Structure 1
Amino acid sequence: MPAKNKGGNSKAKEAEPKQQVSAEQPPKEAQTIREFVWQQYWSANPIHKIVEEQGLDSLSPADKQTYLNLELVRNTDKVKYLSKKSQRELWKQLSEANVPLRGAPRPRDDQWGRDKKGRDIGDYTLEEYAVYEQKKSRISELDLESTFFKRNRDRAHWETKNATTGEVYIITEDDVRAERGRRQEMAALRSELYGVTSNPYVNDPEWDDVVPIPQEEPEGAIAAISYAEDYAEAMGYLRAVMAVKEHTPRCLRLTEHIIDLNPAHYTVWLYRFDIMKALNIPIADEIEWLNEVSLEHLKNYQIWHHRQLLMDLHYPALQSDEDAIAALAADEHGFLTEILEKDTKNYHVWGYRQYLVRKLGLWDSADELRSVELMISKDVRNNSAWSHRFFLVFGNPKQSTPDSLSMEHDPKVPADIIDREVSYTQEKISLAPQNQSPWNYLRGVLVKGGRPVGSVREFAESFITSLGEGEDKEQVRSTHALDLLADIYKEAGEKEKADLCLRRLGERWDRIREAYWEYRRRKLEE
């Protein structure tokens, strides 16, 4: 008969022992802030971790009792209903179990949020999270300092005295500069952490007293304008200061900012000019700034209108000083040359150049005429330069009739001027016979001089060979010469030759305008 097992039931011995809290292995080192917080939580709640992972039945009787006691203690509303004896027993058991009575709040998966790139902050490494928290703390610190600044500024406004020193609070430029730096730093940190952009004027204490006026779009507008956020905010401040007709240095800086965003905003340019007059800002300073803007925005009209207003404002103080006028003309000429090198046919610049000639009396300026000749030499097809030359030569009040039309005979123009211009134009035509600009210029010169087109018949015929004698023999080096010859022959009463010129233009040399040439042929019969 087998001996009895004194150790009790063998099945009980073979059974797995109940989970002991002390058997927990030390956790791996946390790699992210989420892992770290969970480790902190489980280290304060070791029994709860076992229950969550393996269930309540996995605990030993002692640990199970400890778990239930902790749940009871952490619900203080239930503890107070126990008898004093039961409460003493409860605290005794917890003391013997040596476990934390107050556990940390259970972490939530959504408690971290996401950064501006969409990354879960809980996935930050401990080092990254430390930097993140440091920046958040810096924002709080700066915000508190900013609050103190605003409070002291209000005290300074009301001339409040310091209770300790008895002196009236004052705000210095250094204080304002420091506050501006604080706000800019806060804005940069918020942008870096949260992707939040802020209005630069909100970050500037100089603008704290201005309430921006937003753009009012009618409800249900068919074509509501979608302004860029920074532009809309700047315009809100502009409307506010314009409403009270403020003309201060900060308003001047505001116009500079808006012009940089939208250089075509004519209202801002006009307001800027008013500010300049009110503050008596030196014209030279404004011109220096305007030159930079002009080079960035070559096609902008408002720039040149503003420049013209500046000249109108500046000229009365200089008109009696020939040296000052000459210096101003030289400066403007140099800048216009620089602009036209970038855009030779910019009609805004050419329009301003004509204004400048009239304003400063540069009709006889050798530099002005020489500059135009140089541009024509570089590009004989530059019709803008040809137009300006015509303006200089035939608009000069010393040798022309005031208000004389461009295509009208002017007996006041000297004959030697007409001869010079005819010779100059013929020389340039020879360089590029198919270039229309000098041919048009030549016609204008002849009209101004009261000379018939027949006076250049020989010159025009030099570009045509064997007209109407067969396509193999016929040569036309310039369709513009053939066009001019049609008028020359018509003027001379040689209608057949004129008709031949127009017919060959339509049939061969300028077919794209065949209908026009046929129209001209019909006009010969009238």
Structure 2
Amino acid sequence: MTAATASSTTLDDLCSAYLPFDASSSAWSDLTPTPQLESSSPMCPILFAPEYSSAMDLYRTLTVSNTAPLSAIELSPRALALTSHLIQLNPSHFSVWQYRANIILHSPTLGSNRDELLRAELGWLDELAHKNMKSYQVWQHRRLVVSALGDPGRELEFVKENLARDAKNYHTWGYRQWVLAHFGGLSLPSSAVVVGSRGAGEFPQLWDGEADYVDQLLSEDVRNNSAWNHRWYIHFARFGLTGSTNPVNLDPTTMEKIQKTIKYEKAYAKASLAGCPNNASAWTYLRALHTALPASLQTRLVGELGWVKTMVSTNAEAEKDASVDVMGRGPVGALEWWFDCLAEDARSGNVAIEEAEMLVKRLIVADSVRKRFWAYRLKSLRRTLQPQQH
């Protein structure tokens, strides 16, 4: 049975007596609607649709004691049906989602086959996620349900389907990384299985296909900054190797693999930039491989300077014809890297200043939007070199 089939049977059996929603139905006759509290003359009254207002009036009645223990709150099939109706009308209503989660996870009357209900809920969420990919609440509720179920099942494939529709959706990527971290387990030196959470860290194989998946996404769109970020996540962040101040506390075998990965990833980023030299995401990734890892794994930017210079015209050529750096022709990432090598090297004397001044002129042509920033960078470099000139 598919998730969608399970949803159409299990949830329909529970909610069909109360849907389609009708506030005048005898199913709600024992409840006194609680209207929205407003002043007698609100400055800006909100005009809700009648079907939404009547449902919310009943919702307020059901949740009037929402601060009380769950045993004092109605967690019934009709309450579940009411949340279904409200979520279809307003999929971003956080409090309604919270109420639904309490019903799904804690209702004593629905607990005879909780896992079946959870799987049905996933099927119901499939369509909602497709229609409301940018709704944080949809993904957060899915996280609660999958965590309670304790099995990631087809979650990575489901996320893949959604990313095929919107490859840079922040919420979808955040959910994918949660699935990997929670069920696949992070390889942090201090990581431990989450106590009391079903399935946590029990599916390490989830990580196996991630590198190939990212390769596929970048082959489709090399400028997909979300895919570049995920590439960093699967290779380094999950080991805690983000941030120059973080100590390295991994076993020698893992460290050796990471060092090989760094070498490969540098070559990968450079090959990508050779085909698309104005890709800011790839430049950021390459820079991170040099500067955003713990100190023992860092390398100086100047080590790549020879290769970087092959990406742009020489200073002499640029001085002769400034159009070689017109936006799109001279990669800003390469010129910025060259300038940062001067700052990193902190050489003294007029040669460094003259070279830096020339590079800033070029950067202002290539990246005119940030011309004030480049002027500031030059001023900062002069201050660095000034004491060394006396």
> Shorter-normalised TM-score: what interval?
0.7 to 0.9
- Deviation digits for residues 401-460 of structure 1 (CA, Å, limit 9, x no counterpart): x4x544556645532111011011111112211110010011111121311011211221
Contact 2:322–2:362 under 8 Å retained in 1: no
Q: Which residue of 2 aligns with 1:356?
A: 179
Question: Is residue 2:169 matched to residue 1:346?
Answer: yes
State how far apart, in whole Å, the 2-side matches of 1:234 and 1:473 are.
66
Q: Which residue of 2 aligns with 1:441?
A: 285
- Residue aligned with 2:31, SS: coil
Contact 2:236–2:242 under 8 Å retained in 1: no
Q: 2:95 aligns with which of 264, 267, 290?
A: 267
Q: Which residue of 1 aligns with 2:191?
A: none
Superposed, which structure 2 residues align to 1:117-156 within 5 Å?
none
Superposed, which structure 2 residues align to 1:76-475 within 5 Å?
200-202=22-24, 204-243=25-64, 245-277=73-105, 278=107, 279-280=110-111, 281=114, 282-315=117-150, 325=151, 328-329=152-153, 331-361=154-184, 365-397=207-239, 402=240, 405-406=242-243, 408=245, 411=248, 413=255, 414-447=258-291, 448=293, 449-469=297-317, 470-472=319-321, 475=324
Q: Which residue of 2 aligns with 1:512?
A: 369
Which one is further off, 219-228 or 387-396?
219-228
Q: Which amino acid aligns with 1:312?
A: S
Deviation of the 1:471 alpha carbon = 4.1
- Deviation digits for residues 271-303 of structure 1 (CA, Å, limit 9, x no counterpart): 000000112343211111011111111210101
- Residue aligned with 2:267, SS: helix
Q: Which residue of 2 aligns with 1:17?
A: none
Contact 1:299–1:348 under 8 Å retained in 2: yes
Deviation of the 1:510 alpha carbon = 1.7
Unaligned runs of 5+ in 2: 1-12, 66-72, 187-203, 384-390
Q: Which residue of 2 aligns with 1:70?
A: none
State how far apart, in whole Å, the 2-side matches of 1:429 and 1:298 are.
31
Contact 1:503–1:521 under 8 Å retained in 2: no
- Deviation digits for residues 200-255 of structure 1 (CA, Å, limit 9, x no counterpart): 221x3322222221112122222322211110001011112223611111111110
- Residue aligned with 2:129, SS: helix
> Looking at both structures, which has the greater relative contact order when contacts are Cα pairs under 8 Å and sequence separation is at least 6?
2
Go from structure 1 to structure 2 and tell me whether the alpha carbon gap of 1:509 and 1:471 turns closer, same or farther (over 3 Å shift). farther
Task: Give the TM-score normalised by structure 2.
Answer: 0.75
Deviation of the 1:500 alpha carbon = 1.9
Contact 2:335–2:359 under 8 Å retained in 1: yes
Superposed, which structure 2 residues align to 1:44-59 within 5 Å?
none
Report which of the two structures shows the higher radius of gyration computed on alpha carbons: 1
Go from structure 1 to structure 2 and tell me whether the alpha carbon gap of 1:408 and 1:353 turns closer, same or farther (over 3 Å shift). farther
State how far apart, in whole Å, the 2-side matches of 1:438 and 1:286 are.
39
State how far apart, in whole Å, the 2-side matches of 1:415 and 1:498 are.
33
- Deviation digits for residues 105-136 of structure 1 (CA, Å, limit 9, x no counterpart): xxxxxxxxxxxxxxxxxxxxxxxxxxxxxxxx
Task: Give the TM-score normalised by structure 1.
Answer: 0.56
Superposed, which structure 2 residues align to 1:58-69 within 5 Å?
none
Q: Which amino acid aligns with 1:302?
A: Q
State how far apart, in whole Å, the 1-side matches of 2:158 and 2:144 are.
17
Runs of 4+ in 1 over 6 A off after TM superposition: none
Superposed, which structure 2 residues align to 1:14-25 within 5 Å?
none
State how far apart, in whole Å, the 2-side matches of 1:265 and 1:218 are.
22
Unaligned runs of 5+ in 1: 1-172, 185-198, 316-324
State how far apart, in whole Å, the 2-side matches of 1:472 and 1:498 are.
18
Deviation of the 1:264 alpha carbon = 0.5
Deviation of the 1:473 alpha carbon = 7.9
Go from structure 1 to structure 2 and tell me whether the alpha carbon gap of 1:407 and 1:474 turns closer, same or farther (over 3 Å shift). farther
State how far apart, in whole Å, the 2-side matches of 1:350 and 1:471 are.
46
State how far apart, in whole Å, the 2-side matches of 1:262 and 1:374 are.
35
Contact 1:381–1:437 under 8 Å retained in 2: yes
Aligned residue pairs total 315
Contact 2:97–2:137 under 8 Å retained in 1: yes
Q: Which residue of 1 aligns with 2:342?
A: 489
Identity %: 30
Q: Which residue of 2 aligns with 1:148?
A: none
Q: Which residue of 2 aligns with 1:196?
A: none
